[in-house]
Amino acid sequence: MARLLKGNLFQDSFMNTVSLVEDDTSFSSLLTRSLSRIKNIDILSVHSNAEEARQELPRRKPDVVLMDIKLPGMSGIECLRQLRKLSPALLCHVLVLPEHEDSDLVFEALNAGGVKIRDINGTEYN
């Protein structure tokens, strides 16, 4: 997990605030615990759906948003589009889970404003 999240995703020289948007509570808890163990990372917020994230993220202004693509209700991709309109400077990194490694979804996430798309194995799509 740390290999996926380190590298050039976070800056080592200062505190990085992170918001997570993930509907799977088990995976969300695992990711939150893993991130909490990495120095210079502060979990700012965790959201289980895109609608909540769309409301809260522009106000909270995290350094990084880790967002699932497929969420109940509004998709993560649509949420990215709306967040980019509301807060263009918001840096969105998208986690593509193995069951969602569809190249069309990856392309759509990049077009929606995702700046780094990584699958759970750390493979990066630009």
CA torsion through residues 77, 48, 63, 106, sign: negative
pLDDT in the model for residue 124: 59
Q: Which H or E element spans position 17?
A: strand 16-21
Q: Nearest 10 degrees: CA dihedral of 72, 65, 100, 33?
A: -90
pLDDT tens-digit readout, 33-49:
988 888 888 999 999 99
Residue 4 pLDDT exceeds 50: no
pLDDT in the model for residue 126: 55
Which residue reads 């569809």 in tokens? 102
By three-state DSSP, how is residue 32 classified?
Answer: helix
pLDDT tens-digit readout, 52-99:
999 999 999 888 888 888 899 998 889 988 988 888 777 666 555 545
14 or 80, which is more confident: 80
The answer to whether residues 55 and 82 touch, using CB atoms and an 8 Å cutoff, is no
Q: What is the pTM of this model?
A: 0.71
pLDDT tens-digit readout, 94-119:
555 545 556 666 656 666 666 555 55
DSSP string, 50-111: HHHHHHHHHHH--SEEEEES--SSS-HHHHHHHHHHH-TT--EEEEE-GGG--HHHHHHHHH
Q: Which of 5, 33, 20 is nearest to 124 (CA)?
A: 5
Which residue reads 């200062």 in tokens? 14
Domains of the chain from N-terminus onward: 16-125 (3.40.50.2300)
pLDDT in the model for residue 26: 93
